[in-house]
Amino acid sequence: LAIFGFVISLIIYTWVTGDSNPPVVTVKVGGEIRQVENQYYVPFAVTNQGGKTAEFVEVTAELKVSDQISETGMQQIDYLSSGEEQTGEFIFSYDPNRGKLNLRVASYKSP
């Protein structure tokens, strides 16, 4: 009974004192851009630094070459809990090193 009571009190303590801040979702280029045939693979990492979970996180990439939007991409992360990081890759036909690449989190849904 003592162990059971301790576990229950620990769960209640964690629930009461847990981080209740909203999601803070960030995205960054996650490594080196690689080229395979005529395509460029741009790895990225999305992190939730907030206290609550984010669902349906939408990440967009925009590649500008010569000050014009050349290509765009969109990824959707289904579920991102507090402190979690997910990775993926955007694929472009233009070399991102020759233009300006902008990654951003466009939206998320609260569960």
Query: Alpha carbon of 76 to those of 50, 69, 89, 90: distances in Å?
Result: 18, 21, 11, 12
Average of pLDDT values for 17-39?
88
Among the ranges given (4-8, 12-16, 87-91), the one the predictor scored with the smallest mean pLDDT: 12-16
Q: Please compute Rg for the chain using Cα positions.
A: 19
Phi-psi region of 106 (alpha: psi -120 to 50; beta: other; left: phi over 0): alpha
pLDDT at 84: 94
What global pTM score does this model have?
0.78
> What are the pLDDT digits (tens) for 36-67?
999 999 999 999 998 889 999 999 999 998 88
pLDDT at 23: 92
